Amino acid sequence: MSVGVFIDGAAGTTGLEIRERLASRGDVDLLLLPEDRRRDAAARRAALNDADVVILCLPDDAAREAVALVDNPRTRIIDASSAHRVADGWTYGFPELGFDVAGAMRVSNPGCYPTGFLALLAPLVRAGLVPADWPLVVHGTSGYSGGGKAMIAEFRDGGASAHRAYALGLRHKHVAEMTLRAGLAVAPIFLPSVANTYRGMILEVPLPWSRLRPDMPPSRIADALDAAFADCPLVRVSHDEVGFVRIEDDAGTDRMTLHAFADPVEGQVRLVATLDNLGKGAAGAAVQNLNIMAGLDPMAGLACQARSADPPPTL
């Protein structure tokens, strides 16, 4: 028996990516509105309430409005916006970190930057290797597809630089999510930027290990990450000795790769995560949560090897 899924916002970047992952599956029945009824309020309300699972790919305010339109106790919701990531009554959609997605009625997808940050830091905080009140710094660079249609058009028209730092006021909306979900007592300093590449993401967190844990070797970090993600096919901990890590290393996939580089002489550690901002950072995470909530194969529709790095066709 197939699961009825309605993607509200299916014409947006994340919606198209989700639809691409679901389109050929026999265990999912996509509920689609014809072009001339997409803005029909009655048709949209009906679709929201007819679906077994609704996936919201909308701006925050529109996502909240959509939730209010669901007036039955049966329909389950996955919200890919940032509207409910720290809200009461919503389950955080990061199953690898132990959140009970399977039994949830309302699931909030993690943000793309928080996904990498939390994968690196949450296991270390939980293991007592990084104090909850340590002043952390995280730098992240994303492909421009994370900025939506306007930013995509700007970069493709040649009107944008090769690399752009933003959120210079240090009040990015992901900070609250990072702080809460990592179990931190002090908000990290978040330094986001966007690069002139369509998709892909790289995050880095430096740790002065000799000050944090002078009694422990830096290898304890990799041990903690290994233990946290041992049975997680979409998260891999790399032990390879590499000379560089690229923003595109996991682009076009639904996986994430974690690295812990260390200088034991100076006692410094450089944590690095790579993922696809549209894969594990958005659409891939939504499909993974859908699979788990519906009791389907958790890996159905997901790719650990690269798909095309090009954007999916528009509707």
Give ranges for CATH 3.40.50.720 in the chain: 3-110+279-293
Three-class HEC string of 227-265: HHCCCCCCEEECCCCCCCCCCCCCCCCCCEEEEEEEECC
Query: If DSSP codes are grouped into helix, strand and coil, which group holds residue 130?
Result: coil
Q: Which of 57, 112, 232, 304 is catalytic?
A: 112
Residues 228, 258: Cα–Cα separation, whole Å? 12
| pLDDT reported for residue 163 | 83
Q: Which fold has domain 3-110+279-293?
A: Rossmann fold (3.40.50)
Q: How far is CA 117 from the centre of its chain?
A: 10
Give ranges for CATH 3.30.360.10 in the chain: 112-275
Residues 21, 250: Cα–Cα separation, whole Å? 17
The verdict on whether 112 is a catalytic residue reads: yes
The residue among 94, 120, 109 whose CA lies nearest residue 245 is: 120
The residue among 24, 76, 18 whose CA lies nearest residue 52 is: 76
Residues 153, 267: Cα–Cα separation, whole Å? 44
Model pTM? 0.92
Residues 13, 218: Cα–Cα separation, whole Å? 39
CATH assignment, 112-275: 3.30.360.10
Rounded mean pLDDT for each run of 10 residues along the chain, 315 residues in total = 92 93 94 81 93 96 96 97 96 97 97 97 97 96 82 76 80 91 96 93 96 91 96 94 92 97 92 97 98 97 76 48
| pLDDT reported for residue 169 | 83
| pLDDT reported for residue 152 | 78
| pLDDT reported for residue 310 | 56
